[in-house]
Amino acid sequence: MATIPIPQTVHIHELAESDAIDLLKFERANKSFFEKWVPARTEDYFELESLKEIIRELVMDEDHFFLVRNEEYQLIGRINLRAAGASTDGGAELGYRIGEAFGGKGFAKASTLALIQHLKAEGGPSSLIAFAAVNNPASSSVLKACGFQQDATGTKSVQLNDQTLTLHKYTRLLEA
């Protein structure tokens, strides 16, 4: 799959086994930061051979996993689509994580817009959903800036680090 440039800001490409070393470095460098927002990864995720096997399995999955790189082609984040093929309404769930050193610089927005552009060009799902924790207003702002609307009836709660987090649901239709 070709790399998709978005106004000289980010490039996204689907995860491949050849990305394992870069991904391992990225995940190790951001482990503590990410664990503030999402459940911790299993320890085998931080061992190269195990990670390669995980990537091989992910590549075969119906979900889609992309890496985000900056203009210098440095790995700065990930963006994923889950249940892209299994959703009954033709939709998929979007998730992303941007490395701590790159937060607040517009990369999450650029990555999300790049993926939306890619999905429109490739004939992807008809809609996207995403969830943002109420204690993470930056994520909500990114989703709104990318055309997502908050679904007032769509909240869910999750446990993270012995705390209950409330997540707001956001939706976005993808017109052709």
Mean pLDDT, all residues of the chain: 85
Q: What are phi and psi of 22, to 5 degrees?
A: -60, -45
Domain assignment present for 155: no
Whole-number pLDDT of residue 133: 85
23-27, 61-65, 83-87, 161-165: range with highest mean pLDDT: 23-27
The reported pTM is 0.84
Half-sphere exposure of residue 65: CA atoms within 13 angstroms, side-chain side? 16
Whole-number pLDDT of residue 45: 80
pLDDT in tens, 6-61: 445 899 999 999 999 999 999 999 998 887 777 667 788 888 999 899 899 988 88
Q: Positive or negative, the Cα torsion across 47, 52, 56, 58? A: positive
Beta bridge mates, 129: 93, 171
- Residue 106: which CATH number? 3.40.630.30
Domain assignment present for 159: no
Beta bridge mates, 56: none
Q: How many CB atoms sit inside 10 A of residue 84's CB?
A: 20
Domain assignment present for 139: no
DSSP secondary structure string for all residues of 115-139: HHHHHHHHT--SEEEEEEETT-HHH
Whole-number pLDDT of residue 91: 85
Q: Which domain holds residue 105?
A: 4-127
Domain assignment present for 61: yes
Residues 6+ positions from 143 with CB-CB distance below 8 Å: 112, 130, 132, 170, 172
Instruction: Say if residue 84's pLDDT is above 60.
Output: no
Domain assignment present for 8: yes
Q: Please, is 121 exposed, middle or buried when counting C-beta atoms within 10 Å of its C-beta (0-12, 13-18, 19+)?
A: exposed
In the chain the beta strands, taken as DSSP E runs, fall at 4-6, 10-14, 64-69, 75-82, 91-98, 127-133, 149-160, 163-173
Whole-number pLDDT of residue 150: 93
Per the structure, the count of domains in the chain is 1
Domain assignment present for 164: no
Domain assignment present for 36: yes
Domain assignment present for 163: no
pLDDT in tens, 141-151: 999 999 999 98
